[in-house]
Each structure stands twice: as structure tokens, then as C-alpha cells.
Amino acid sequence: MTTLVDEIDLVAIAANACLRTGIPGHEQQVAYCLAVLHGKSDPPRASQHGPPARTYKLDVGADDYSQRLGDWADTIAGHMRDSGVMYEAIHDEVDRYEITTLRRLIRSGKGDDIVDALADGLAAVLTSGPRLQDMTRELAREVEPGGNHYVFQSPLSQWVGTIVRRKSPRETDPLEARTEQCSGDRTPGESERVTAERDEVYRTLVARIAALADTRDLLSNTIGRADQIERSAAQIQLASTDEATKLQQIRAELAYVVDELRKEQRGVGPMLAYIVLAMRTADKLQRVTILSLRVASLERAVVDHLAHRMRAAIDDPLQPTPLLIAQTQQAKVPGPRSAALERLRNAPASRAAELRPVVRMLDQLPATVGDVAAIAAALPGKVSKGSVATMRGDAAKELALVDARYEHAFRRYAMATR
């Protein structure tokens, strides 16, 4: 690998391919992929269209070597152009514990239980490979190419499809199929009963979690009931050991997710109070922060509700709470923020006058905005999109300094990254 990367000017070959395919500036990435591809084992493989044949045929010293290297550079650059965004989206989502794009790629009409199992393996493969920005000559020198490395040698969706086909029959039969296998010596009536019980288990799981929102039940109770659900599942022989383990892991994550959502929910009120009461000492930042919570990508009911809660914080004589003041005093935020809150607390008589400009501003700002450009256009004076994006990021950082929950809630609505 070292020899190849050092002796052949892969970057120059990659640069030409990038120009030809319309992705100039990606030569480091294409060069990395070429280097890894070069190191992959390339035995003859069975083909539907003829006798077994090798795939890459990159033999140093062969007459057609340069031609093949150039062709593969073009192929890789082309797939990087077509699948690069999706590939990066998968990496971005994994950073947020999400697999939305991956799920979309491997939806093939089979049951979700299969999708989940496959996504497990696929996510592992993808996270074992570097992001585009990490694809460098230095890394190429260190990496030992494995058979599962994806280096844009084929379209991402096709590569994922190949993995799915290879893994499905052996490791991830659909739940329905497994149930049929388990019930091989059962009478038809028993099979129907098992199916009904299986459906009931999953309905119950969903219903129990739904009850959280309705009854404000204690989390421990819900988790306790999840135990019962698992036991029920085991009794009716639905799950393999692997599935039972998976269900246990999901249960642990379920507890975490519910806890985090609750924390976030509790952070929304104080976050909005901080935005309208403390951030008024930075007019432009405050406007950007408020407008970021009025983006059209959010459901209108959510936008209106957040706006309503901002007004409620202004009208509520108990705001700012002692907790919010204490948090602001302790946080390393600009000093005027804390002073602004203390003034409201210490001089309730002048509260209305103090907050009148904020009320006016809330009324004057558009009820919804399309995007960052629309936020920039709604601000007084000339403000660039870049400045708005920077201010939005600054707002998130400031909220994080006061309370992590406020940042989480802000990012959820303003940046859709929760």
C-alpha cells in the first residue's frame, strides 16, 4: 500500500477524474478510494453473464494498468458525485444516533425486524470506513483494505443491496418466517394463536410507551412492564436469543430516550424565558434566535405554541425564576444577560416598560420564515445568510452555557438536529 501511494501519483489521476465527472476538489478522496480499491483482494467471482471473472483487474505492470486505473478513478468519482451526499448523510446521522438514510436505502418490502438487523451490520461497516473529509493519503497508507470497505466502487444503494442479499437468507429471516419455522409441529390453530400473541406483545409495547404521555407514569413502571413484555415474548418462543438480547438493549435505550425527551421538555419553558427576558440585551441575536424557532419546516402548531409560551413568559410575574437567574449568573454568558434578569426580579413595577420593546418585536417579526435567507431578510439592516447561521450557532452555544437542556431544545426546533 505504501509503495503504491508513494510511487504512483494517484492524486493527479484522481484530480483528472474529478474534473471529468464534475466534482473538482475531491482528488484526495478519490485517491484514497483508489488506493484502498487497489489493495482489495480480487479473486475470480461467479457471474450471471459468463464464467467467473475478477472485478477490479488492477495489476501493476500489466499493459492496460494505466487505462484501468483511470477508468476506476472515473467510476469512483462518478459514484462519489451521485452517492456522496447520501454517504455523508449516513455519517452525519450516526453522529446523532439516527439511521434514517440507511433505513431508506435498505427498505425492500420486508419486515422492519429484518431492516433493523441489517442496519446493525451496515452501520458497523459504514462507521468502520472514514468520512469523506477523513479520506487522505495518510490514512490510505495505514488502512488494510477489507472486503467490506465501501470506496465508491459501485453506487451506494447497489452496494447496500448486495450486502442485504448476502445477509438476509442466513441471518435475518423475517419475523413471520421465523414464527412459521418455530411452529413447524404446531396445529394450524396453535399457529394462529402464536401469531395473535406475537402481535399482542408488540401492540402492548407500543401502548405502554404511549401511556407515558397520557398518564405521566413513572419511567420505572414502564420499564418494569417492558420486562413483562420480554417475558411474554420469551414464553411464546417468538424471539431467538439474539432477538432477546436486542430487545434488552432496546429497552435500555428506551429508558434513555424517554429520560432525555422529558429533560428536553422541561427545558423548553425556561429556554423560551431566557430568550425573551435575558437575550434582549443583544437585539440582533435575539431576533435571530426567535426567528429560528419560527421556521416553516416546523409544524405550524408547534411554532404558534412556542410563540405563545414566549408571550406567557413575558406576562408571567414569576419569570425569571430564581433558578434561571442563578443559572445565568453562574454561566459564562455576557454580563448584561444576568443584569437584565435581575432587574425584572428586583423592580417588578417597571417590568412592563422594560419588556415593551420585546413585545413589540415579537409582534412585528414574521409569524413563520422559510429559511436562513428569510431570517436575514426579516432583520433590520443588511445581514448576510452566513451571519444569521453564525448567530444561530452562537445562540445554541450560549444556551448550552446556561443549561444543556435549553441547547437541546433549541437545536431540535431551530436546527432539526435532535
Partner 1 sequence: MSAAADRRALDRFVAGLDVDEDALATAIVGKAVDRTVVVEALLKALASPQPALAVLGAQRIARMPDVAKPVAAQLTLIAAGEDEGDERVRTACAAALRAHGLPVPGDDGKRGNPLDPKPVPVFARLMLRALMMRSEQPIVSLEPVYSEDAPHMRGELSEDEDDVLHVKLTGLPPEFHGRRLELSVRRDVDARELTTIATAQARVSPDGAVAIRIEPELGSVADIRRWLAAGIELVASED
Q: Which residues 345-364 are close enough to bind partner 1 by CB under 8 A?
A: 345-346
Binding residue (CB under 8 A) for partner 1 from 214, 380, 381, 382: 214
Cβ closer to partner 1: 27 or 264? 264
DSSP letter (8 states) at residue 133: G
Write the interaction track for partner 1 spanning residues 89-118; mark x where CB under 8 A is met and - where it is not. -----xxxxxxx--x------------x--
The site string for partner 1 over 388-407 (x = CB under 8 A, - otherwise) reads: ---------------x----
CA distance linking residue 407 with residue 398, whole number of Å? 8
Task: Pull the grid cell for residue 233.
Answer: 415474548
Near partner 1 by CB under 8 A, which window of 29-37, 54-62, 276-284, 295-303?
Answer: 295-303
Q: Whats the size of the chain, residue-wise?
A: 418
Give, as ranges, the residues between 300 and 329 that touch partner 1 (CB under 8 A): 301-302, 305-306, 309, 318, 321-323, 326-327
Which of 48, 181, 220, 241 lies at the binding interface for partner 1 (CB under 8 A)?
A: 220
Residue 144 touches partner 1, criterion: CB under 8 A: yes
Residues 166-205 that bind partner 1 (CB under 8 A): 205
| Nearest CA among 209, 208, 207, 182 for reference residue 193 | 182
Confirm if 127 and 88 have CB atoms less than 8 A apart.
no
Does 123 engage in binding with partner 1 (CB under 8 A)? yes
* Residue 120 near partner 1 by CB under 8 A: yes
Contact status, residue 414 vs residue 295, Cβ threshold 8 Å: yes
- Nearer to partner 1 among residue 120 and residue 171 (C-beta): 120
Find the binder of partner 1 among 142, 188, 317, 382 (CB under 8 A): 142
**Binder among 74, 129, 151, 372 for partner 1 (CB under 8 A):** 129
Among 266, 300, 356, 397, binds partner 1 (CB under 8 A): 266
Contacts of residue 226, Cβ cutoff 8 Å, sequence gap at least 6: 205, 208, 251, 254
Residues numbered 245-264 forming contacts with partner 1, rule: CB under 8 A: 246, 249-254, 256-259, 261-262, 264
CB 413, min distance to partner 1, A: 7
> Are 137 and 161 contacting, i.e. CB atoms less than 8 angstroms apart?
no
Grid cell listed for 328: 445565568
DSSP state, residue 319:
P
DSSP secondary structure letters along 168-214: HHHH---HHHHHHHHTTTS-HHHHHHHHHHHHHHHHHHHHHHHHHHH
Q: In the complex with partner 1, which residue's Cβ is closer, 21 or 101? A: 101
Q: Which stretch binds partner 1 (CB under 8 A): 22-30, 120-128, 186-194, 384-392?
A: 120-128
Rank residues 282 and 395 by Cβ distance to partner 1 and give the closer one.
395
**What number of chain residues touch partner 1 (CB under 8 A)?**
76
Contact segment (CB under 8 A) with partner 1 among 18-26, 48-56, 81-89, 124-132 equals 124-132
Amino acid at 339: A
Please give the full DSSP string across 327-356, using - where no structure is assigned.
Answer: HHHHS-S-HHHHHHHHHHHH-GGGHHHHHH
Q: Which residues pair with 47 in a beta bridge?
A: 50
- Binding test (CB under 8 A) with partner 1, winner from 218, 352, 367, 373: 218
Nearer to partner 1, 63 or 214 (CB): 214
CA atoms within 13 A on the CB side of 128: 14
The answer to whether residues 209 and 254 touch, using CB atoms and an 8 Å cutoff, is: yes
C-alpha R_g of the chain: 28
Compute the distance between CA of residue 367 and CA of residue 349 in angstroms, rounded to an integer: 30
Nearest-approach distance from CB 50 to partner 1, in angstroms: 34
